[in-house]
Copies of this chain bind each other. A is one copy, B any other.
Amino acid sequence: VAYIPTLPDALALMVGIFHEYAGKDGNACSLNKGEFKDLIDAQFPQVFQNSKDKEGIQKLMNDLDRDKSGEIDFTEYMTFLASLAVVCNEYLLESLKGGKKPCK
């Protein structure tokens, strides 16, 4: 029987990947612009095709950087991932429309 991944696995993966990139240089508890770009390029190659667009990646960072520290801390990173999950979920529900309506 294959191991079925659980929510703690997903959480551990999110924590681990953050530190894999945040630890590259400078402050090991936050992602600077280069680290954030590397993370996006590696983890979301299809979704953010324009990460070579320097203006786009800077705009995304500015949006996520709530405390205007110039870097993405762990809480800001999790807010970003939670927003992506909400978008994924809405896309899923939208794609199911026309078939069995998933929600009341």
Contacts and interface: CB of A to CB of B under 8 A. Distances in A.
Contact of A78 (B43, B82, B103): B82
Contacts of A10: 9-11, 13-14, 81
Oligomeric state, in copies: 2
Given A81-B82, A86-B75, A103-B29, A13 B18 contact: no
A86 B76 CA distance: 10
Given A85-B15, A86-B74, A104-B29, A44 B8 contact: yes
A104 B25 CA distance: 11
A89 B102 contact: no
5 contacts: A6-B17, A8-B43, A9-B13, A15-B92, A27-B103
